[in-house]
Chain A
Amino acid sequence: MMGLLVTVSAVSAQAVSPTEAMTAGNQSYEAGNYAQAVEIYETMVAAGIQDSTLYYNLGNAYFKQGQLGKAILNYRRAYRLDPRDVDNNVNLALARSQALDKLDTANDGAVTNFVKAAEDWLTLDEASMLALGLWLLLCGLAIVAILLPRFRQVSLWAMAVVGLFLIVGLISIANRLYNDYAYPPAVVVAEQVSVMSGPGGADQYVVEFDLHTGAEVTQLESHDNWRRVSLPGHDFQGWVSADALELVNLN
């Protein structure tokens, strides 16, 4: 069990286990000391603990502090680890409803929506294991079709159905892996940030539009301390200062 150095009070710092640290964080939260709760939870995150409950509680502490951007960021991190957590989804929806920039996503086609629904229901690992399960099932059906001519017709139909689900699943996984790598999602954590027409300040480029804390964007590329972002469902894109946003994916 790894140890964490957590400053629980202003005068003492001690190495504690992750569960002890989280207990201390929860106690700070319960006592209304949200700043200290944030400090403890962030220490745990920095120590490499990736747990949906930790991110959920951290999101709550940020929300109570009025830091909407950080709250949405951590709710989304919790969502990646446990997309079926109803509490987290409710809090994420509430935090999003209070964000100033309402960025609606476009209504995509049926296949895209199916892929998105799968992504909203399964983690990447769960989707990967499900795809493997479908593959094993497909191979089993193939063996049945080879060895048992009586069941060949049924097996081939079953293989077609399983194969279709498998292809969609693989597309979904590939899409998630590619987007995580090429277009990672990010959240604006600064109160307000100007989106510039290029990677530089107002002395060089034009302010195209403003974004506010909690706005969820996609990072397209990096250039020094500037990040090029696009808005979901819009054609807008531009450059923002790197310290104004944080990536949802920690890996």
Chain B
Amino acid sequence: MLLVGLLSILLTSPISAQSPITARVDRNTLTIDEQVVLTVTVTGDFLKIPQPDLANLGEFIVVSSSTSTQVSIVNGQMTSQGVYLYRLQPLHEGAVEIGSIGVNIDGQLYQTDPIQLEVFAGGTPIQPPSQTNPDTDAPTLSPGEEFFVKAQVDNPNPFLGQQIIYTFQIYQASGFAFGQPDYTPPPFTDFWSQEIIAPLHHPEEINGITYMVTEIMTALFPANLGTITIEPASLVIPGSLLSPDIRLETEPVTVEVKSLPEQGKPEDFSGAVGQYSINANLSDSEVVINHPLTLRVTIEGTGNIQTLAEPVLPEMDKWRMFESKSFTDIDASNGRMTGTRTFERLVVPGQAGELTFEPISFSYYDPDAQAYNTISTEPIPVTVLPDDSQPALPTVVDFNDEEQTVNLLASDIRHIKPVPTSLNVGTALSVAGQVVYWMAWIVPLFLVAGVQIWQHRQQRLQKDPAFARDQRAKRQALTILDEAKTAGSKEQAAAAGRALLGYLSDKLNKPTAGLTTGGLIRLLRESRLQTRHIERIEALLHQIDIGRFAPISAGDAESIIVETRRLIDDLEKSFSRQRKR
């Protein structure tokens, strides 16, 4: 029941434009033993729904509470609603008040009005003021006459789907009080049922005895044809220490359900029985093409409101329809189930101009008039404007040379493309996923680094003579040796001497002129050249001197050239290692 109530609240509570918070109770009179359900609804467009403040609750305690929230976005518009249910227990009898309930939204305080309630003594039924005093007027009752129950329907011969009211009556003799009874309704198989929540109370006199009659009514809508028996309903009155519980049962109630006539049944009849009216409206009378409007179709009347099917919309090729949602608002206060069922649907015009939303029909069977009835809405005119965000419309020149704007009658997608000459087959790896691509990023980096190093070297060669001599020493020495290949033995020995001395003077950055063998050896030692190399230099210079000044064979001259070349190679490595150290 709580769930049904909650759903009903969620479906039917409209968004209040005045106050974002509302509060209501399920009853205004109760006994001290009973509880009242307080429903607080907070509505707005916030993401986090604020909590209501119950600081001014008054003489009640909160027995239990539950919360339900709902956020929806339609057409970019967000709506959120929080429904807070509190089960309250009164703390004392008499007139009590539930104080204002507040909620703080964006720093502003919104409050509900206080709610007045009447709390009676425990075990005392709600009685009208004319209740007879049990101490003075209590008549003598036979056993079973203090309490009894009855059940009846207001129409035992309804049509299929026609509303009938099943009434369960509790008769309680004046002066005989009992605690909270437990009512068990019949199963109501073969019916669609809806309990009419608020119980009714009225006095009734039977055989001189005044009874307080409590009526619990249920709206029934037959779902099957033929004879249907409603099983007995029961009521258990709790006993006390000295008396057991009292169980009361009604007699079964029989209903004979008639079928609806076939004659005159409209094609769009969907099973609605009762009395209804229909109206429809659009959220705006003017809209830009391809922008949505909300179509709201409302059916109001008496009957099984909750099961009403949506009317079939007329086919209109200038409109696109989207799925609908429905809301139901039921009122059973007058002892019958009445209300409204609203169907909302987004509709999008696909053509600019003055359009008309055609009438919507709805058929139902009226059991009072015993005839089918088809009702329709009025046509709804709509002005559909062209979309200004579209590209500027072309202009044409008429015979009078007056410019006219071409009116866009409808917008559609552009046509399909012809088959291309080649289709991309397969899922090719993107270039960013290929090794070659990233190699192409790295190679230029090395190129720039190489150019930078080369440029630096060139600059040093220009600015640093010692470095320049060091770098060219070997090359010049080898050139001298190469040039001496075809020369005579003495010339080869002399060339070897020039090459070696030139090489060493370049490496040591010393002038060749005036450099004696002894001076050279001293400089080499100072340069920390390895001793074995120095010894080889000394020996080779000695050989060269012999070759220059004494007869020498071609083979010896050749060996001097070869040894000079080897020694320069070895010295180059040694100097290189020395430089690195």
Beyond A22-B419, A51-B420, A146-B452, is A94–B290 a contact (Cβ under 8 Å)? Answer: yes
Shortest distance between the CB of B105 and any CB in chain A (Å): 18
| Inter-subunit contact B431/A250 (CB<8 Å) | no
| Inter-subunit contact B437/A132 (CB<8 Å) | yes
| Inter-subunit contact A95/B71 (CB<8 Å) | no
Shortest distance between the CB of B396 and any CB in chain A (Å): 22
Quick check: is B409 within 8 A (CB to CB) of the other chain?
Answer: no
| Inter-subunit contact B425/A128 (CB<8 Å) | no
Q: Mark B527-540, 1 if CB is under 8 A from A, else 0.
A: 00000000000000
Count residues on chain A whose CB falls below 8 Å from chain B CBs: 62
Quick check: is A15 within 8 A (CB to CB) of the other chain?
Answer: no
Quick check: is B457 within 8 A (CB to CB) of the other chain?
Answer: no
Quick check: is A84 within 8 A (CB to CB) of the other chain?
Answer: no
| Inter-subunit contact A97/B427 (CB<8 Å) | no
Beyond A100-B292, A124-B430, is A139–B416 a contact (Cβ under 8 Å)? Answer: no
Shortest distance between the CB of B362 and any CB in chain A (Å): 25
| Inter-subunit contact A139/B425 (CB<8 Å) | no
Residues of chain A from 132 to 150 with CB closer than 8 A to chain B in the complex:
132, 135-136, 139-140, 142-143, 146-147
Quick check: is B393 within 8 A (CB to CB) of the other chain?
Answer: no
Shortest distance between the CB of A216 and any CB in chain B (Å): 13
Tell me which of A56, A103, A135 contacts B416 (CB under 8 A): A56
List B contacts of A250 (CB < 8 A).
427
| Inter-subunit contact B426/A50 (CB<8 Å) | yes
Interface of A is mostly: helix
Quick check: is A53 within 8 A (CB to CB) of the other chain?
Answer: yes
Tell me which of B78, B387, B417, B447 contacts A139 (CB under 8 A): B447
Interface size on B, as a range, is 35 or more
Q: Mark B476-497, 1 if CB is under 8 A from A, else 0.
A: 0000000000000000000000
Beyond A147-B455, A212-B322, A250-B427, is A103–B444 a contact (Cβ under 8 Å)? Answer: no
Stretch of A105-113, A203-211, A218-226, A240-248 at the chain-chain interface: A203-211
Q: Mark B300-335, 1 if CB is under 8 A from A, else 0.
A: 000000000000000000001011000000000000
List B contacts of A104 (CB < 8 A).
76
Quick check: is A79 within 8 A (CB to CB) of the other chain?
Answer: no
| Inter-subunit contact B432/A26 (CB<8 Å) | no
Q: Which 10 pairs from chain A and chain B are nearest by CB?
A: A139-B444, A102-B76, A57-B416, A91-B413, A87-B414, A22-B419, A128-B432, A51-B423, A18-B423, A51-B424
Q: List 21 A-B contacts (CB under 8 A).
A: A19-B419, A23-B419, A49-B423, A49-B424, A53-B417, A53-B419, A53-B420, A53-B423, A94-B290, A94-B411, A98-B290, A101-B73, A102-B76, A125-B431, A132-B437, A136-B440, A139-B445, A147-B451, A206-B69, A210-B73, A212-B323
